[in-house]
Chains A and B, each alone.
Chain A
């Protein structure tokens, strides 16, 4: 079996508000014997704000990061859906437009490298490692846990860019977490937008959108939500109390990163998954289901 080694691009959030995503990713990959080398001195991809107002800057930042990643062996593993989307979009746009590629090459003063493989963690687990090997590594199956997989916007959209899975009816998250022994629920809002970066500038909008998502997950009978994006996590987890207050309701839905749940199934302890960093306390649920 070929050894799996990746260059790791955590993205800014994983070094800050999404520390538990970073921690659980490193621990899970260690447990699965997948090599992960953090790209030295990577910097911000520009995320949504950059392409929102300055596409050239956004493309240049991504192109520079792709160049940095090129120096580390292995495909590029990306945890954050936003970084993933930006890097993939940059590859796509620069591959299609000669004009923009030339502009970016001038901005970064280096040739643009487009051949490196940018992969989201989900892709690595589901395709490179494979669901069979993942299932074989599971020693504490998450039996009886009903998970609502939340894709959000950027993992699959637009149709021909990330190519992670079908843009409208993706199943990759479900397949991964079912391999870990959990059940998944069919729910209506798994692809709806949470408001993402409006969390800073327009929290009112975010509350409205996020409430609809939580409501839908709850109505589908989910015990918890699983995400692959720190922005989604921020809006669903950190703001959950606030939403409950504004809409006078109660959800109590823990929001896990995919690496936390998968990590749990391969036997990693709470300390290695950063479960204590979650705003909605998952402990009661996990104890009730007998996972801890």
Chain B
């Protein structure tokens, strides 16, 4: 990625977006004093173009576009190492969650299809069946992501070990689950929740 000069002014610093991130994550980005401890311990930092500390730095400057345009947020494994070791109680894991959530509607956000697809399918599974069915999840994922042969060799072995259930059981709470999904959708539509 070509590095564009960063012009900083009240106009280019999008404080509103950062406030949303802070509200969703329940943490303050201004607390960070850039010690870099989060990046030092992050198991995924080597895969990210912006290491965790720089994600926070960019947020401090209101430059969320630069964060979302990159893949960093899609490489966070939610292992909470950063949050645990931060000397300043910056809950970086939650900030990552908030950024992924906000990237749905944000313009210019990178579409990290695989992770997004997996997450989406996972949530769909909950909505449809109430519980996860890994077989289904994996199969649909492979079909949708076009990697028909991925982990192909694992399937039969797992089946043989009884690790993949082919059928799902009935869950009496299905209507309740559906209501939770729809209520949240309604709240968002009315602007009662982020």
Binding site for B on A (CB under 8 A): 12-13, 15-19, 40-44, 46-57, 60-61, 64, 68, 93, 96-97, 99-100, 103, 106-109, 153-154, 157-159, 167-168, 192-193, 195-198, 200-203, 205, 209, 238, 242, 276-279
Distance, CA A238 to CA B94, complexed state (A): 29
**B101 contacts A55, CB within 8 Å?**
yes
Query: Which of B10-18, B51-59, B127-135 is found at the contact surface with chain A?
Result: B127-135
Can you name 6 A-B pairs with beta carbons within 8 Å? A16-B165, A51-B97, A64-B176, A158-B83, A205-B47, A238-B158
Chain B residues whose CB sits within 8 angstroms of the CB of A47 once the complex forms: 122, 132
Chain A contact residues: helix, strand, loop or mixed: helix
A129 to chain B, nearest CB (A): 28
**B79 contacts A157, CB within 8 Å?**
yes
Chain A residues whose CB sits within 8 angstroms of the CB of B115 once the complex forms: 198, 201-202
**A159 contacts B84, CB within 8 Å?**
yes
Residue of A nearest to B154 (CB): A238
Does B66 sit within 8 A of A, measured CB to CB?
no
**A57 contacts B122, CB within 8 Å?**
no
Does B141 sit within 8 A of A, measured CB to CB?
yes
Known interface pairs A43-B171, A97-B26, A198-B77; A167-B84 also in contact (CB < 8 Å): yes
Distance, CA A96 to CA B164, complexed state (A): 39
Residue of A nearest to B133 (CB): A16
**B78 contacts A16, CB within 8 Å?**
no
Does B161 sit within 8 A of A, measured CB to CB?
yes
Complex partner residue of B132 from A41, A44, A54, CB under 8 angstroms: A44
Interface size on B, residues (CB 8 A): 67
B91-130 to A contact mask, C-beta < 8 Å, 1/0: 1011001101100100000000011111100110110001
Known interface pairs A43-B126, A158-B80; A61-B164 also in contact (CB < 8 Å): no
B28-58 to A contact mask, C-beta < 8 Å, 1/0: 0000000000000001100100000000000
A156 to chain B, nearest CB (A): 8
Chain B residues whose CB sits within 8 angstroms of the CB of A154 once the complex forms: 79-80
**A50 contacts B162, CB within 8 Å?**
no
Residue of B nearest to A277 (CB): B161
Complex partner residue of A200 from B81, B118, B193, CB under 8 angstroms: B118
**A49 contacts B77, CB within 8 Å?**
no
**B180 contacts A17, CB within 8 Å?**
no
Chain B residues whose CB sits within 8 angstroms of the CB of A68 once the complex forms: 173
Distance, CA A125 to CA B84, complexed state (A): 25
Residue of B nearest to A156 (CB): B84
Complex partner residue of B193 from A48, A51, A103, A242, CB under 8 angstroms: A103
